Structures are given as C-alpha cells and as structure tokens.
Amino acid sequence: MSSQIELAVQMTCTSCVKAVRDSLNIPGVSNVVINLENNSVVVDTTLTTSEVLRHLESSGKKAVVKGYAGSLAAVAILDVSKHIQGVVRLVQINSETCVIDGTVDGLKPGKHGLFIHESGDLSNGCNSVGECYIPNNHQPDELNRVYGNLGTITADDHGRATFRFEDKVIDLSNIIGRSLVITEHPDNVNSGKKLTCGIIARSSGLFQNPKTICACDGVSIWDERNKPKSTL
C-alpha cells in the first residue's frame, strides 16, 4: 500500500525542481508534488523512507522528513546502544493498517526480532521496558500472532536492516509512549538479548510540521540534520 511522505528539500530555482523530480522518477514512486516556495516535496510511495531520501539526495539537494499522511504518526529513535543506531517510523494510514518503516545500522548480519514492549522507561536501558506488549482485550489471530511481535527484520552483510511493511494487528494509538525493541534472535518474545530500544513518540503528520529553525539552538533544519548525535 502506498503512503505519503512530506519532505523539506533545499531548493532555490526551477532547475532544482527538475533535478528533484528526475531523481524521483523511479519504480515505487507514483506521484510527486513539489512546492519551490515552501521547499516542500510530497511523495506517494511504497519505498522505505531511507530509499526515498537516498534517491532524492542524488539530485544534490539536502532533504529532511517532515511528516506522514495518516490519522497518527510516531517515531522511535534507537540509540540506547552506542554501536546500534536507527530510526523506525510508524504511521496509522487507516483504521486497519499501520505502516512500519525503518533503517537500523550496526546489527549482526542476519535475522532479528522487532517487538513492542510495555513500558517507555529507559532508565535502565532495555532492561526496564517490561514484557512484550499484549493488551488485555487482545484476541490472537488465526496465526496465533502475539500483539507486540512485529516480525523479523534482516540485516545485510554491512549490518544494515532496511524495512517497510504493513501491520494489520496493532493500533498505533495504543503503543505511543511504549518502547520498540530489537532482539538478537527473531523468536525471543520475552527472553534473549535485547540489542537496542527506543520510546515510541508521536511525530508530525502531513503538513503539521512548520519547523525551519530549531528553537533549541537556532540552527536551520539542514544544519540540525548534519549535527552529531552527541551534540543534539
């Protein structure tokens, strides 16, 4: 299922618009709306966000994600581990479907588990996030799916896992403030090593993020994107 992503793209002229449009003339992108005045690009796509950014920036223009179309959007920044870093975005695009889109670096090549856990408490790292989340009223489906088990992600030979899939079980409104966890093995629901985790925090929907200057330090969104994590 296609979803809409809003991006801020650093454009100054009509030739920039052409370069951006040409960079997105690719399979998996069905529609591109560009507003030069607002430095805005809205894309209908079935690609991962990282793929869209990679193609867009092949035009030579900087780009930053600003929002997603849907009734609710959230993001989990996975940075508890110094060696494993990633961003996972979740968008409730309709009442039955949540799109989960992420890129994680630093994993051991192979398959890993992706889970929702009960708590957003990271005071003791991933050891304080509680059990795999299962609502009291949840009835297992025909596959006996555990509610908080989002499935398997696969890291390539360089340790990067890039994924985008649709989940028909979770309701994003139920998991805001909980945590997203990556495990060493894909079948470890409540046991085994947790590699990294992050709080699932509400994020901007389409056209809900007017930010051009970061209020915390006064730098532009372009400079903010390039700052080291340790200084944010």
Q: Are 211 and 39 in contact (CB under 8 A)?
A: no
Fold for the domain defined by 72-203: Immunoglobulin-like (2.60.40)
pLDDT tens digits, 83-131: 999 999 999 998 899 999 999 999 999 999 999 999 999 999 999 999 9
The Cα–Cα gap between 65 and 209 comes to: 10
Q: Are 93 and 205 in contact (CB under 8 A)?
A: no
The Cα–Cα gap between 83 and 55 comes to: 26
- In this predicted structure, what is the pLDDT of residue 211? 54
The 3-state DSSP class for residue 92 equals strand
Residues whose CB is less than 8 angstroms from the CB of residue 125 and which lie 6 or more positions away in sequence, other chains included: 80, 197
**Phi, psi at 85, each rounded to 5°:** -130, 145
- In this predicted structure, what is the pLDDT of residue 48? 93
- In this predicted structure, what is the pLDDT of residue 101? 94
Architecture of domain 3-69+205-226: 2-Layer Sandwich (3.30)
pLDDT tens digits, 6-22: 999 989 999 999 999 99
Q: Are 161 and 103 in contact (CB under 8 A)?
A: yes
- Cα–Cα separations (whole angstroms), residue 186 to 52, 113, 122, 152: 27, 4, 22, 6
- Give strand pairing partners of 152: 113
- In this predicted structure, what is the pLDDT of residue 141? 59
Indicate the pairing of strand 110-117 with strand 179-183: antiparallel
* Other residues' Cβ atoms within 10 Å of the Cβ of residue 187: 11
Residues whose CB is less than 8 angstroms from the CB of residue 206 and which lie 6 or more positions away in sequence, other chains included: 4, 6, 42, 67, 68, 69, 70
The Cα–Cα gap between 49 and 165 comes to: 12
- In this predicted structure, what is the pLDDT of residue 227? 42
Q: Are 144 and 134 in contact (CB under 8 A)?
A: no
Cα-Cα-Cα-Cα torsion 78, 79, 84, 89, nearest 10 degrees, comes to 20
Name the residue among 102, 37, 107 with its Cα closest to residue 68: 102
Q: Domain ranges for the chain, please list them.
A: 3-69+205-226, 72-203
Burial 74-103 (b: 16+ CB within 10 A, else e): bbbbbbbbeebbbbbbbbbbeeeebbbbbb
Which residues does the chain have with pLDDT short of 70?
A: 138-144, 188, 190-191, 205-232
What pTM, to 2 d.p., does this model score? Answer: 0.81
Tell me 110's DSSP state: E
